[in-house]
Amino acid sequence: MFIRNRLSILMAEKGIRSVSELHRMIEDRGLTMSRRTLDKLYNNVSNRFDMDTLATLCVILDCQVGDILELVKDSE
């Protein structure tokens, strides 16, 4: 069993073409998140999500945590 990071898929579904665009959307709302953090999450090289990071992404992407992270069972 593992957790799949769906951030890049969700961004595509929402029409967000790049990490730079998402970062700009975050800053425009007066929220903060480093570009490096976004890069790591987008490229699936991060092992963890910070609660504040998840909350910020959910606000910006108008979604729930389960839209970003998905539990995948071994049989899938």
| Residue 1 vs residues 4, 45, 47, 56, 58: alpha-carbon distances, Å | 10, 18, 15, 26, 24
Residue 33 DSSP SS3: coil
**pLDDT at residue 47 in the model:** 84
pTM comes to 0.90
**pLDDT at residue 48 in the model:** 86
The pLDDT tens digits along the chain (76 residues) read: 999 999 999 999 999 999 999 999 999 999 999 999 999 999 999 888 899 999 999 999 999 999 999 999 987 6
**pLDDT at residue 75 in the model:** 73
Q: Give the pair of three-digit tokens for residue 20.
A: 């730079």
Are the beta carbons of 8 and 70 closer than 8 angstroms?
A: no
Q: Cβ of 42: how many Cβ atoms within 10 Å?
A: 16
